[in-house]
Chain A
Amino acid sequence: MILSRLAGRPVLLAAGLITVLALPWLIYPPVAMDVLCWALFAVALDVLLGFTGLLSFGHAAFWGTAAYAAGLLAIHYSLPFPLAVLGAALAAAVLAVPIGFLSVRRTGIYFAMVTLAFAQMVYFLANQWSGLTGGENGLQGIPRELFGLDLSDPFFFYYYGLPLVLVGLWAAWRIVRSPFGRVLTAIRDNPARARALGYPVDRYKLLAFVLSAGLSGLAGGLYAISHGFASLQEVNWTTSGKVVIMVVLGGIGTLWGPGLGSLIMVQLNDFLSTAGFDGIDLVTGGVLILIVLLFRRGMWGTVVDLLARRAARRAEARAKAKAPAAEEPVPSGSA
């Protein structure tokens, strides 16, 4: 079981990497870039939702703030785009400190509502401060700058942006797998016990919130650079909702599942907008209902679950088979 897990991981990792590298060959490159950004955003939210047990309904605030920040940095300081995106991620993380500080004292629906309220404030600011953000016209004409390279082709830009996303995904994985991440899971499952063990629960939650916001910012900043503008859509509450749906689709607490969720959502949306069918929201809503009813753990979660169950059954069968014939040699490293 453990052996096979160890062997399975590099394979899965390689398959994931190949998928990510091949994406712009398979789907329209600008759409592939969208998938990438949303995937990182969804994974970042999952760090909070799946591993800390906090449902933020205001993550658009961080994605959107970062989008504007990246745009402003690129327009006014002509920073190379990776720096603008990193700056944007920092801006989102900084914004998350006061918001998180006030929100993490609550859990469940209250936490969701408080984060939503803060996100609406950010929306209001972005709408009102039109001198800075362009109001509902959006912040247009964000340049893509990297040492004078030509980044206009979305196909190549995908590969320029990819390292940033991979760094973000790696960071999310590290956060979840670290001792810090274990404490988060403990807090999710039993906050009272975690507190009894001496962990400052609120501080852990705050840090998770800030890290999640920072990663969301990384995604949002790159999204703005990739599109060449940032608009009110980015800070709208529907964006918060969309990313939650992606996480649910892919599987809460599976880390990579939300990436899968974003691929499906973005592709579905892209396909439907040229399919000549009016009820786009009807279809996406229907898909969500189906997934929730049929795959309670999300798509990724269900697959992982099935594989794990099958492996367990087989291990059990093997154990049973082995019992009467103990002298048989152990089969080497297979599952």
Chain B
Amino acid sequence: MRRRVLTAVAIAAALTTTVAACGGGPGGGGGKITDDKIVLGVLNDQSGVYSELSGKNSVTAVEMAVEDFKAKYGDDAITKNIEVVTADHQNKPDVANTKAQELYDRQKADVILDVPTSSAALAVAGQAAAKKKLHINVTAATTELTGAKCNKYTFHWAYDTYMLANGTGTSVTEAGAKDWYIVYPDYAFGQDMQKSFTEAIQKTGGQVITADPTPFPNDDFSTFLLKAPTLSPTPSVIGTMHAGGDLVNLVKQYNEFGLREKGVDLSVGLMFITDIHSLGVEAFAGTTFTDAWYWNADADNRAWADRFQAKTGTRPSFAHAGNYSAALQYLEAAQRAGTDNADDVVKALEGFAFNDVFAANGQVRAEDHRMIHDSYLAKVKSPDQVTEDWDYEEIVETIPAAEAFRPAAESGCQF
């Protein structure tokens, strides 16, 4: 009998101590810097579909920002004790939600950076508001973050659906492609993009001949692609709002049907340089899309990209540079505020105008916490134009910060 009791207790104890660590005490008060350190948390996908375009290399980018901040201020820095902590949310919003709490509460993160996947991003934004700590989102696309679901502690840094659709829709139409055929995946992201694209195209004097939703996920786009040349008038460009594996399939089939030779161009709503790299530049050659940043656009970008490559062995995507910028500007704001107190840092960020390697003519809008910056219409080079690895893009046009993003008045954000 006694042994049985002991066994039961032992089992119970073994169950509960698999990974045990008790809650930390309350945060140290008094000083200007809580816990005597600033902690930057990077929460993103490190094992799934977004691990290439952001992932662990974004942690490296954030560490570079810390390095640069320390080098710039030396002994005048608000603190020399700056930590970078990270967690993998696996693109699961529930994991993101729990990890965000853990980062804020236990690891004492003052800010959480990155967070791809819109549902995860919105969950983390909710935690930021509840814990009164900062969240600077870099890789989620949803405009909800600076729209209906905005809050005082959340900022949106690199891009969003409006910026992508508006940039490509406006610029390509202005360049003469007036007749569009849009195919979009039938879920909220695709629908948002389709709406924004259509508005941008019509505003610029173009027309959307028709817009077709496709199932999601989808392998076979032949029905939609074969339909394109039969439309009247013949569309000058197909706008696709697909991403990831769907985009790869669509582009492959677009090439197989030889639509470009038939005079139907391709514009992509959302694309990362890592997408081009994985499928090969010849598949995407001639495709236009809006990019938030390109590593080889000028000497400064290139210098930074060289540093990045030395550490990671790869060229940076705009998400990597965006994370660097977000981390650097957070630290700069804390330096200006003289504290890591969230409310003071938010004040220091609001309305702040700056330039860094990522953001040209950057400004953090106080009204909705959208960081606006110059964006770029990029065209994928043809293979014979490529002179080195990752040299895939040609910047066709710079879209000024003020025009690139949704006007604050339309955001519907109220703090």
Task: Please report A residues at the B interface, Cβ cutoff 8 Å.
Answer: 4, 7-8, 11-12, 15-16, 18-19, 22-23, 25-31, 34, 127-128, 130, 134-138, 140-141, 152, 154-155, 223, 227-229, 231-233, 260, 263-264, 267, 269-274, 276, 278-281, 303, 307, 333-335
Contact = CB atoms under 8 A, between A and B. Distances in A.
A130 B101 contact: no
Contact of A8 (B4, B23, B191): B4
Contacts of B57: none
A12 to B, nearest CB: 5
Nearest 4 Cβ contacts at the A-B interface: A135-B188, A138-B119, A15-B12, A231-B119
Contact of A22 (B5, B8, B16, B92): B16
A8 B4 CA distance: 7
B107 to A, nearest CB: 9
A281 B47 CA distance: 9
A152 B16 CA distance: 24
B94 A130 contact: no
A130 B4 contact: no
Given A26-B16, A136-B189, A269-B95, A154 B122 contact: no
Given A130-B187, A140-B122, A335-B4, A233 B94 contact: yes
Most chain B CB within a 10 A radius of its CB, from A4, A128, A231: A231
B126 interface: yes
Interface stretch (B68-76, B81-89, B303-311, B349-357): B81-89
Most chain A CB within a 10 A radius of its CB, from B97, B98, B130: B98
B140 to A, nearest CB: 9
A94 to B, nearest CB: 25
B97 A227 contact: yes
Contact of A278 (B7, B12, B46, B144): B46
Contacts of B21: 27-28
B8 to A, nearest CB: 4
B48 to A, nearest CB: 9
A232 B102 contact: no
A136 B94 contact: no
A134 B106 contact: no
B93 A138 contact: yes
A233 B18 contact: no
A12 B23 CA distance: 27
B175 interface: no
B149 A141 contact: yes
A19 B189 CA distance: 43
Contacts of B126: 140-141, 228-229
A2 B21 CA distance: 39
Given A141-B149, A273-B99, A280-B88, A260 B191 contact: no
Q: How large is the interface on B (under 10, 10 to 19, 20 to 34, 35 or more residues)?
A: 35 or more
A19 B88 CA distance: 28
A58 B199 CA distance: 40
A4 B106 CA distance: 44
Contacts of B98: 28, 30-31, 34, 227, 270
Contacts of B187: 127-128, 130, 135-136
A11 B119 contact: no
B49 interface: no
Interface in B1-37: 1, 4-5, 7-9, 11-12, 15-23
B15 A19 contact: yes
Nearest to B3: A335
B348 to A, nearest CB: 27
Contact of B16 (A23, A223, A271, A281): A23
Nearest to A273: B88
Contacts of A31: 98
Contacts of A307: 7
B118 interface: yes
A264 B16 CA distance: 10
Given A141-B126, A264-B18, A229 B97 contact: yes
Contacts of A12: 8
A302 B34 CA distance: 49
A7 B92 CA distance: 44
B51 interface: yes
Contact of A270 (B7, B15, B19, B191): B19
Given A27-B16, A231-B94, A140 B123 contact: yes
Interface string B276-309: 0000000000000000000000000000000000
Given A19-B15, A229-B123, A27 B20 contact: yes
B20 A26 contact: yes
A223 to B, nearest CB: 8
